[in-house]
Amino acid sequence: MPLLSIGQRGGPEYELYQVTSARWTDDGRIAIGNSGSHEIRIFDPDGGFVSAYGGSGQGPGEFRRLESVHLLPDDRFVAWDIALRRASVFSIDEGFQHTIRLDPGLRGPRLAGTTVDGQLVMTDFRYEGPGAGELGSIFEHRFLYGLDGMRIDSLGAIPGPEGEMTARGQGMEMRPSLFDFSSTYALTDGFLWIQSGRIPGVDVQSLSDSFRREVRWRDGRRPVAEDHVAATVAARVADISDPEQRSLMRKDIAGRPVPDSLPETTAVIADRTENVAWVADFVVPGRGVARRWHVVDPEHGVIGEVDLPEGMDLKDVRGHEILVVERDAFDVEYVRVYRVVEVER
């Protein structure tokens, strides 16, 4: 049973749709990025509605496509709009403060996270190498920015999403592969955690010195089987009610290039109370199999494991409490708090 459940209680401010982020603030409030209404909604520690910021539009503090919300020091947070390609800073108590506009040289920027002292970790996709008809990756470069929009440092690059390249005008267009090899990032005190679907583990990089560590919990890659493909296609079209649209979508997804191996991991989430992070193993969708999260310490590697059921979308961690998004049988979204038990290795 959840310790707390937000959704479908009271007025429309409790109705959640397309939740992209849910995070605890330092004083225990919960900030929810509700993309369906283009808002960030603030709830008190007991789940009561406090305020909402944003709204649909292109003006200051408004959103066209709210992708993520990240905390800043001094009771502030920054929200990333992927359509407008801009970051907006808000006070949890007072609302919108200012817009951060990054240099126009970024081709596909995304906000990956924020450091404890209030800097932004940005990523940028850049095409490098594969020719038309080849299966390749778009590289994902990482940069550190200040809240004034000025670049502070470069943090390296790794292969990003992969797919089949097609010539388009003077550039290249990628048809994504059936399985997603995108990377995610988390930040704890002084460390950047880098999750890539290509590795059965996580890389840890210090933001202040030369410390780097690779943590792995499997050897080798897992080959793709026919039942993996069938299950993935079925899961991708399961929510489409119109038979014609479902048929078209099934044909499109089934025609995507299939890589030789499955992704290894899918996400990394920082613990808000300790200098550790949780990393999720990839699970073939639609099979009702629990997803295993590995709890990783930057110095000691894997220190615990937690299994979460399919359909529980982890958003934040606070010690033994987790903040998740779930859907009921009627597809209604809820943000919930659970207490979990670690599985000792």
Q: What is the mean pLDDT of each run of 10 residues along the chain (345 residues)?
A: 89 94 96 97 97 96 97 95 96 96 86 95 79 71 95 91 75 82 93 94 92 92 92 90 91 89 96 94 88 94 93 95 94 94 60
The range of the structural domain enclosing residue 41 comes to 1-101+309-339
Residue 43 neighbours by CB under 8 Å, 6+ apart: 6, 29, 30, 32, 49, 50
Strands annotated E in 9-65: 19-24, 30-34, 39-43, 49-54
Residues 6+ away with beta carbon under 8 Å from 6? 14, 16, 30, 32, 43, 47, 334, 335, 336
Start-to-end CA span in the chain (Å): 25
Token pair for residue 165? Answer: 């390249």
Domain assignment present for residue 281? The answer is no
Confirm whether 47 is domain-assigned.
Answer: yes
CB 48 within 8 A of CB 42: no
The reported pLDDT for the residue numbered 343 is 55
Question: Residue 269 falls within a domain, yes or no?
Answer: no
Instruction: Give the per-residue pLDDT at 134.
Output: 65
- List of residues 6+ apart from 30 with CB closer than 8 A: 6, 22, 23, 24, 42, 43, 45, 47, 323, 335
Residue 42 lies in a domain: yes
- Between the CA of residue 195 and those of 143, 158, 217, what are the distances in Å? 16, 10, 13
Strands (E), 134-195: 135-145, 151-168, 171-176, 184-188, 191-195
Is 201 part of a structural domain of the chain? no
Q: From 341, 212, 17, select the one nearest 8 (Cα to Cα).
A: 17
Q: Return d(Cα 201, Cα 199) in angstroms, integer.
A: 5
Give the count of domains, the chain: 1
**What is the predicted pLDDT for the residue at 327?**
93
Can you give the pTM of this predicted structure?
A: 0.92
Chain position carrying tokens 């025609």: 255
Question: Is 71 within a domain?
Answer: yes
Asked if residue 179 is part of any domain, the answer here is no
Residue with tokens 């929510």: 239
Q: Which of 82, 90, 24, 86 has the alpha carbon at shortest distance from 269? A: 24
Angle between the N-to-C axes of helices 226-237 and 243-254, in degrees from 0 to 180, rounded to the nearest 10: 150
Let me know if residue 22 belongs to a domain: yes
pLDDT at site 125: 85
Q: According to the model, what pLDDT value does residue 341 have?
A: 72
Q: Tell me the CATH number at 89.
A: 2.120.10.30
